[in-house]
């Protein structure tokens, strides 16, 4: 059985106290980025203290050691998401870069179609808007249901055609917390021959996720949202899909041969990894995967459901607070976006910080089209993770209650 207090001891940031009053930091902005356990920090430090050398580029012992460590990390990450083999794992700078690799790697023709949703993060909208303008493709959006909590998947039959080249959507909304039935969408997309791309930035860190079970062609996620370092992301590319995607970046490592007349691509996955890689980031991400695996992703998911249920129950008691997304916590991740009637979201976030050193996000959360669909200018977002406690959730809800009572 996992002891949450022992877990919290692994995170140096949880020892942080506010200078002026000594109040502990209550960190509820995990959908933006997560704290790092000592095990990850030490793994990154070890690279710089014990293994500093470039990977894949030297036959001397140190270079071979770090190369083995780097590729062992790839294998570990592949197993974590159920990939068939390590070569299906491509390291990127972040999820945004992964989306752009696909956007600029596919061979677009005028009249090709992309289907996505109004629920997406900007990183899964803006690249396709650029592609639309550059190549004359058609961009279609799955809308929300009337309650504004789920995708209206009844639209799929009309939106999918023989011209659909790509269907891309989020697994878990970073605003609504909605867990989308991506496997159903993937199967329907495959019926018309479309490739499928899943934004798993808010799912892989928080619940069991298996790419073979999802049957997706492509999937992206970011290290910094799952206890790992910043500056490293993952693009899963199902074996065979690389035949449809050209490397959008050229340089060292991603080639087999180079002449003055041309070049030939390297094998997978290195053809999509030009230049010196973020070895420290990869090693740190592997340490994060070790940490999550030891806890168990089933436990992580159950813990977040418990915290989310507590928060949803308490927030439902506030007349002036509107919570967005599904009411059923089994249908949502540990993300709760809300607004206080008549109060700017930034003001609510500032007051939570001022009163009890509670860190939440306010604004558009890189999802402006979704906020427009909801009919709101912005929202406040509290997002939970494995080191948060029921006491922290109660303090958050109690402080919000005080704010509401003081304003009305």
Q: What tens digit of pLDDT does each residue of 148-189 get?
A: 999 999 999 999 999 999 999 999 999 999 999 999 999 999
Query: What's residue 57's pLDDT?
Result: 86
Kindly state the average pLDDT of the residues 305-310. 98
Third-level CATH fold of 4-30+296-407: 3.90.1150
For residue 360, pLDDT over 90 is answered with yes
- CATH classification number, 41-294, choose in 3.40.640.10, 3.90.1150.10, 3.40.30.10, 3.40.50.920: 3.40.640.10
For residue 407, pLDDT over 90 is answered with no
Query: What's residue 1's pLDDT?
Result: 87
Q: What tens digit of pLDDT does each residue of 200-227 get?
A: 999 999 999 999 999 999 999 999 999 9
Every domain range in the chain assigned CATH 3.90.1150.10: 4-30+296-407
Every domain range in the chain assigned CATH 3.40.640.10: 41-294
CB 269 within 8 A of CB 237: yes
Q: What pTM, to 2 d.p., does this model score?
A: 0.97
Active site residues: 366
């Amino acid at each position: 059985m996992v002891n949450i207090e022992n877990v919290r001891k692994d995170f140096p940031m949880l020892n942080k106290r506010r200078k002026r009053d000594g109040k502990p930091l209550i960190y509820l902005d995990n959908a933006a980025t997560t704290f790092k356990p000592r095990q990850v920090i030490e793994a990154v430090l070890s690279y710089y203290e014990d293994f500093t050398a470039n990977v894949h580029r030297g036959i001397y012992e140190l270079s071979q050691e770090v190369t083995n460590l780097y590729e062992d990390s790839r294998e570990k990450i592949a197993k974590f998401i159920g990939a068939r083999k390590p070569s299906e794992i491509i390291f990127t700078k972040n999820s945004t870069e992964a989306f752009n690799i696909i956007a600029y790697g596919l061979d677009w023709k005028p009249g090709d179609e992309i289907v996505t949703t109004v629920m997406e993060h900007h990183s899964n909208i803006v690249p396709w808007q650029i592609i639309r303008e550059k190549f004359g493709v058609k961009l279609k959006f799955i809308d929300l249901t009337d309650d504004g909590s789920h995708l209206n998947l009844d639209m799929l039959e009309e939106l999918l055609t023989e011209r659909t080249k790509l269907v891309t959507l989020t697994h878990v909304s970073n605003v609504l917390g909605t867990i989308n039935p991506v496997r159903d969408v993937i199967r329907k997309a495959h019926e018309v021959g479309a490739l499928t791309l899943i934004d798993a930035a808010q799912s892989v860190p928080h619940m069991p996720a298996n790419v073979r079970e999802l049957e997706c062609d492509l999937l992206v996620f970011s290290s910094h949202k799952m206890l790992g370092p910043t500056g490293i992301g993952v693009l899963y590319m199902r074996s065979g899909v690389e035949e449809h995607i050209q490397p959008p970046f050229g340089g060292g490592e991603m080639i087999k041969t180079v002449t003055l007349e041309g070049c030939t691509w390297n094998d997978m996955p290195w053809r999509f990894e030009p230049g010196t890689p973020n070895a420290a980031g990869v090693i740190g991400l592997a340490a994060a995967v070790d940490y999550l695996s030891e806890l168990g992703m089933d436990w992580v998911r159950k813990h977040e459901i418990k915290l989310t249920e507590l928060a949803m129950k308490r927030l439902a008691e506030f007349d002036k607070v509107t919570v967005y997304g599904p009411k059923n916590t089994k249908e949502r991740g540990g993300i709760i976006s809300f607004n206080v009637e008549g109060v700017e979201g930034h003001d609510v976030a500032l007051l939570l910080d001022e009163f009890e050193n509670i860190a939440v996000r306010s604004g558009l959360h890189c999802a402006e089209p979704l906020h427009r669909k909801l009919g709101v200018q912005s929202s406040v977002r509290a997002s939970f993770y494995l080191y948060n406690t029921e006491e922290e959730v109660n303090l958050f809800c109690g402080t919000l209650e005080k704010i509401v009572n003081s304003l009305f």
